[in-house]
């Protein structure tokens, strides 16, 4: 398996890297182990701090079930839900050969409020040169890149989670750090190859648990 660097923060808040071994989600079947392994590979051992629980999709609050329990790109569902465009910001990224990974946030174009934080791992070997360049340009959300390139793709959410406010990842929401958020971990197949693994955590401050 290829080695790749993980994103960590040093005491000054700067992202640094270390080498780890990539483990594919398709080789795992336990949702807790899968999330822990995925996040540890990208952020280190304490990425989650234990502040999460797997949850069945039918136990998600209604608004979050509509946001997460589907086989569409999250950018499309977020635009539909919030009624405005979303903007990508890459907090950290690293490429090692064909293995590219990044830590991102998506914010609303009008209010600049962060509505999604996430981790993404991409095998660029399954992408064309144009798609690779667009991804590494860091300007366009991943879903939009794949749609615009008309890539044959299949989105497979594998597990869903509830995250409590103590989860270190929720700090990426900034000043509006949520008391609770929900997310999904899954795979995007490009031409039926498992090219992309991603964690997507969403929050809408207007919604309370239902």
- pLDDT tens, N- to C-terminus, the chain (210 residues): 333 333 333 333 333 333 333 447 877 889 999 999 898 877 877 778 889 999 999 999 999 999 999 999 999 999 999 999 999 999 999 888 899 999 999 999 999 999 999 999 999 999 999 999 999 999 999 999 999 999 989 999 999 999 999 999 999 999 889 999 999 999 999 988 899 999 999 999 988 765
> What per-residue confidence (pLDDT) applies to 15?
36
pLDDT value for 209: 63
CB within 8 Å of 82: residues ≥ 6 apart: 108, 115, 204
pLDDT at 96: 86
Residue 82 CA to residue 100 CA, distance in Å, equals 29
Predicted local confidence at residue 61, as pLDDT: 95
The confidence score (pLDDT) of residue 2 equals 35
The reported pLDDT for the residue numbered 20 is 34
Question: How far apart are alpha carbons 16 and 22 in whole angstroms?
Answer: 17
* pLDDT (0 to 100) of residue 210: 54
Give Cα 113 distance to the centre of its chain: 17
């Amino acid at each position: 398996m290829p080695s790749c660097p993980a994103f960590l923060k040093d005491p000054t808040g700067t992202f640094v890297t270390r080498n780890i071994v990539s483990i594919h989600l398709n080789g795992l079947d336990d949702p807790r182990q899968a999330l822990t392994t995925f996040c540890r590979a990208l952020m280190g051992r304490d990425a989650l701090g234990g502040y999460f629980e797997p949850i069945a999709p039918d136990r998600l609050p209604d608004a979050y079930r509509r946001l997460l329990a589907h086989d569409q790109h999250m950018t499309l569902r977020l635009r539909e839900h919030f009624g405005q465009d979303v903007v990508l910001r890459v907090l950290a990224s690293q490429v090692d050969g064909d293995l590219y990974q990044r830590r991102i946030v998506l914010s609303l174009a009008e209010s600049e409020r962060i509505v999604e934080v996430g981790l993404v791992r991409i095998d660029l070997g399954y992408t064309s040169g144009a798609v690779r360049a667009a991804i590494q340009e860091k300007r366009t959300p991943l879903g939009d890149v794949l749609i615009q390139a008309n890539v044959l793709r299949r989105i497979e959410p594998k597990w869903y989670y509830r995250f409590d406010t103590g989860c270190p990842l929720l700090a990426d929401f900034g000043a509006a750090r949520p008391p609770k958020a929900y997310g999904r971990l899954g795979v995007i197949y490009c031409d039926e190859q498992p090219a992309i693994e991603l964690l997507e955590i969403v929050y809408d401050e207007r919604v309370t648990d239902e």
